[in-house]
């Protein structure tokens, strides 16, 4: 069950980073709003699958942190 939720959250974050990649000239304000929209989307989709807020918060924190770490690594490499 958790693997499926982590996979779906990863796909949602992949969509976020694809949109950021294809719109490099956007202002930082728009990127922050977009991040909050994707965070809310991640929350609602995952809550429909898990129905447990404590575990959802832990998984959301892990996938969000992992996506930021991957973003930092990709910026450092490229």
Total Cβ atoms within 10 A of residue 4: 11
Instruction: Identify the band that residue 21 occupies on the pLDDT scale cut at 50, 70 and 90.
Output: confident
pLDDT at 78: 65
CA nearest to 30, candidates 22, 20, 40 = 20
12, pLDDT greater than 80: yes
pLDDT at 77: 83
7, pLDDT greater than 80: yes
DSSP class of 25: T
Q: What does pLDDT average to over the chain? A: 90
Total Cβ atoms within 10 A of residue 43: 16
Instruction: Identify the band that residue 71 occupies on the pLDDT scale cut at 50, 70 and 90.
Output: confident
């Amino acid at each position: 069950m958790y693997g499926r939720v982590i996979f779906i959250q990863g796909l949602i974050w992949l969509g976020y980073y694809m949109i950021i990649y294809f719109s490099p000239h956007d202002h930082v304000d728009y990127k922050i709003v977009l991040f909050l929209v994707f965070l809310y989307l991640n929350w609602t989709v995952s809550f429909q699958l898990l129905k447990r807020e404590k575990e959802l918060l832990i998984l959301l924190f892990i996938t969000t942190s992992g996506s930021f770490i991957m973003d930092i690594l990709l910026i450092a490499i490229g």
